[in-house]
Structure 1
Amino acid sequence: MSAQFPAHLDLEEEEDLEVFSKNTSLTDGGPSSPSSMMNQYREEEEEELFITVDHPESHVTAIETFITYRVMTKTSRSDFDCSEFEVRRRYQDFLWLRSTLEENHPTLIVHKFVMKGMVERFNDDFIETRRRALQRFLDKIRDHPLLRGSPSLKVFLTAQDLAPHRKQTPSLLSRWGGTVKMLSQSLRGVRSRPEEFSLMQDYVEQLSSKICSVDKICSSETQSCTQHLSSVLIPVLHDYLLCADTLKAVMKRRDNIQAEYEAKREAMERRGDQEQQEEEVQALQEKVEVCNSSLQEDWSRWRSSMRTDLKTALLSTAENNMQHYEKCLAVWETFLLSQREEGSEQKEEDAP
């Protein structure tokens, strides 16, 4: 039997191997029941909370390099001391918030933001992709009827220094022990799980399998599309980019030949010894004419060849792109159709 560890142990990068612990002062549970929290949310639902993640900055220390993001908060909620807050947070801080929310609300769905398969953690594309993922994460929490009122979220948005809150935690070994206990319990299973949760489990497993298939197919097609660009269109573009540089050099050499001819002719006219230099000037003039003629012919051939090559490459790329998007569209249509059919079946089951 294969075993999977709980998702909240998903510590993906070197910079993310942080000891997370439970801050008892931030516990979101306690005497407040879910119903009372929902009532509180309804009372405050008209109050606004806007969160923006932007302005990444690189920080280099003696032991590490990391990126921080500015987190701007504007709110009209009465439980906040001010209407605007500005803090800087690194990726580990977001992981701390997610981990704390998962620990305090083990049966709520906390949005994940880990990006797998990306290794260049300090280039601009990765930083922007991560920023968008972190923005979506906070948006999901803000829009959640229970998580938006979490004391952990409030501390994350307002505290200038998170270190004191993150240090009030048990050791990683303690977390690991709790995880092993949860794992052993999950392997034993439950004896009388309510049917609705069994159906939920089956649905999630099927959904995960379907989305994984869609991802694999679309990723494969995208890779094929990228390979086509790399092997068909990009080489042609690079080839003619180099040809353009070659043409500039040819034009310069032609101009040099003409300049030499013109200089000789002007010198001959000034000195008046036309008979002595006439042969030399005539030879240079013929050389210019030959250069002009050969360049004109080559220019005509080059333009014709360029148009043919670019047209062929662009048409091939367009056709390949159409096939790529048609295949991806077919996969998504099949997936959405299956979801629609499952929804119809669920409605029929729920009907009296």
Structure 2
Amino acid sequence: LLMEKYQNAVSPDLMSLFVSPPPPAQEASLTNGAPVETPSPASTSSLFNRLQLDDDPEADVRDPYTETAETRDLFVTVDDPKKHVSTMETYITYRVSTKTSRVEFDLPEYCVRRRYQDFDWLRMKLEDSQPTHLIPPLPEKFVMKGVVDRFSEEFVETRMKALDKFLKRVADHPVLSFNPHLNAFLTAKDLNKRQGLALLTKVGESVKHVAGGYKLRPRPAEFCAMGEYLDTFNQKLGTIDRIAQRILKEQSEYLTELREYGTVYSSWAASEEELRRPLEGVGGCVATCCGALDDLGDGMSQDFLPVLREYVLYVESMKNVLRKRDQSQAEYEGRLEAAILRKQEDRTPMPAEVEKCQDKVECFNADLKADWERWQSNKRQDFKLLLTGMADKNIRHYEKCQAAWESLLTVLQDKQAEDKTHETN
């Protein structure tokens, strides 16, 4: 009887956890988190379909957060890195510029300087205050000592681009952009980083207390599909990253040898007067190929690899939100099951804390679905730009090499004609 009374207040899907067994598991793979039936595991050729890199006319329709430039009212930019040296530490700050027409800002424009730990503070505050939303990742703080110079121009430039992308993603989000911690980050001269406690820690402890010893029911199919997609996507990204790193290392070694190779021809030309022009031509071609290869390597290390790494971190962020959703579901199910098992009189209303937990789960589900669609839309755009950019860089590399060697053919043909003229005379 008690279960019949609760059926009017609890969604059928959630009540089915207690009145009927879960449906049998089915093999499924993902296309942007939607479960579809596939007869076999994903192959290499199907990766591009999984990433949805092709033009999708319905992509913008499905994205609940699609905005045009005309509707945006908050613009942020991270640039102008500066090195600061003191007796205690050396660090880099970045200029954060803001333009807005929102009423919660006192001025239309702001310009402040922030260091990496300030961005890290902002992200932690967003995670604490917006636990149901996907928070964009930051570039990793630590680098291997002796491998990467964190004060080098290349490293600072790469980090600045990543911080700029992080802040733009937050500012374009329809919920995160209104967070008061973001307002403080963009406007305050000095951030008060000590205020507030780790809300998420408290929530986590509450869930452990309520759902301790309770075995979580299976995730709904759509969230299981998200988890499977993230695992597959992360695996593919890891493989691509490892191969790209190896290619970059081999290119660097080849470039070193190629430069020595060109130098030999240039020095040889000094002792061979009759062959001077052809030998100098070969040396010049090799030098041109070295420059083209150097540019290609820079593009891979500064543009290609950072995007791969960003999405590896994005996967971890999304998995973290899924775990929080599971904790919220566990809390609700634990409270609901405890209420059902208690012997209560007829007409006893559902405990308020159960309804509150149910609302929390539904809110979590709605926010996660919306952020998932937004993330998929951003991913499609990012990987289109990434792969087309990589293709363009490779085309330019080979065009430069081809043009250099074709110019050498002209030199060799002129030399051959000149030699025939001398023989005739």
1:82 aligns with 2:107: yes
Partner of residue 167, structure 1: 194
Q: CA deviation at 1:131?
A: 0.7
Q: How far, CA to CA, are the matches of 2:154 and 2:182 in structure 1?
A: 27
Is the contact between residue 236 and residue 313 of structure 1 (CA under 8 Å) also seen in structure 2?
no
Code of the aligned partner of 1:202: E
CA contact (8 A) 1:58 1:65 kept: yes
Partner of 2:4: none
What are the equivalent positions in structure 2 for 1:304-319 lying under 5 Å apart?
Answer: 304-308=278-282, 311=285
**Which of 223, 226, 240 is the equivalent residue of 2:249?**
223
| Aligned residues of 1:51 and 1:138 also touching (Cα < 8 A) | yes
| Superposition deviation, residue 119 in structure 1 | 2.4
> How many Å separate the matches in 2 of 1:55 and 1:80?
23
Look up the SS of the partner of 1:72 in the other structure. strand
Instruction: Please give the secondary structure, in 2, of the residue aligned with 1:111.
Output: coil
Please state how far the C-alpha of 1:200 moved relative to its aligned partner: 0.9
**Cα distance in 2 between the residues matched to 1:227 and 1:53:** 34
Which residue of 2 is the match for residue 55 of structure 1?
Answer: 80
Cα-to-partner distance string for 1:137-166 (whole Å, 9 max, x where unaligned): 01100111111111111000000001x2x0
Residue in structure 1 matched with residue 275 of structure 2 by the alignment: 301
Aligned-pair CA distance for 1:179: 8.0
Q: Secondary structure at the match of 1:74?
A: strand
**Structure 1 contact 236–310 (Cα < 8 Å) conserved:** no
Contact in 2 for aligned 1:60/1:66 (Cα 8 Å): yes
The correspondence of residues 90-169 of structure 1 with structure 2, limited to 5 A, is 90-115=115-140, 119-162=148-191, 164=192, 166-169=193-196
Instruction: Extract unaligned runs of 5+ from structure 2.
Output: 1-65, 309-375, 377-425
Q: CA deviation at 1:240?
A: 5.9
Of the structure 1 ranges 310-319 and 69-78, higher mean CA displacement relative to structure 2 is found in: 310-319
For normalisation by structure 2, the TM-score amounts to 0.45
CA distance in structure 2 between the partners assigned to 1:78 and 1:305 by the alignment: 69
CA distance in 1, matches of 2:108, 2:159: 27
Q: Which amino acid aligns with 2:219?
A: R
Aligned residues: 229
- How do residues 193-204 of structure 1 correspond to structure 2 at under 5 angstroms? 193-204=219-230
Residue 230 to residue 76, structure 1, CA distance change in 2 (3 Å): same
Amino acid at match of 2:247: E
Matched ranges for 1:1-352 at <5 A = 46=71, 48-115=73-140, 119-162=148-191, 164=192, 166-169=193-196, 190-232=216-258, 234-239=259-264, 243=267, 298-308=272-282, 311=285
Alpha carbons of structure 1 residues 114 and 64: separation in structure 2 relative to 1, 3 Å: same
CA deviations on 1:321-341 (whole Å, 9 max, x unpaired) are 99xx9xx9xxx9xxxxxxxxx
Deviations 1:25-57 (A, max 9, x none): xxxxxxxxxxxxxxxx99xx9351111111111
Write the letter of the residue equivalent to 1:210.
K
Compare the two structures and name the one with the higher helix fraction. 1
Mark the runs of 5 or more structure 1 residues left unpaired by the alignment: 1-40, 248-296, 333-342, 344-352
SS in 2 for 1:298: coil
Secondary structure of the corresponding residue to residue 131 of structure 1: helix
The secondary structure found in structure 1 opposite 2:274 is helix
Question: What's the CA shift string for 1:256-287, capped at 9, x where partnerless?
Answer: xxxxxxxxxxxxxxxxxxxxxxxxxxxxxxxx
Q: Is the 8 A contact 1:49 1:73 kept in 2?
A: yes
Q: What secondary structure, in the 3-state scheme, does the structure 2 residue paired with 1:213 have?
A: helix
Kindly indicate whether the alpha-carbon contact (under 8 Å) linking 2:131 and 2:200 is maintained by their aligned counterparts in 1: no
Deviates more, 1:177-186 or 1:94-103: 177-186
Alignment partners' CA distance in 1, 2:245 and 2:252: 10
Structure 2 letter corresponding to 1:125: E
Matched residue type, 2:117:
Q
1:53 and 1:212 map into 2 onto residues whose CA distance is 28
Paired AA for residue 224 in structure 1: E
Q: Distance in 1 between matches of 2:277 and 2:290?
A: 20
Change (3 A) 1:152 1:315: closer
Q: Which has the larger radius of gyration?
A: 1
Task: Give the CA deviation at 1:217.
Answer: 1.9
Alpha-carbon distance in 1 for matches of 2:187, 2:194: 17
TM-score of the two chains, using structure 1 as the length reference: 0.54
| Residues 127 and 183 (structure 1), Cα distance of their counterparts in 2 relative to 1, 3 Å cut | farther
Cα separation, partners in 2 of 1:191 and 1:70, compared to 1, 3 Å: same
Question: By how many angstroms is 1:225 displaced?
Answer: 2.2
Offset from partner CA, 1:3-38 (integer Å, 9 cap, x none): xxxxxxxxxxxxxxxxxxxxxxxxxxxxxxxxxxxx
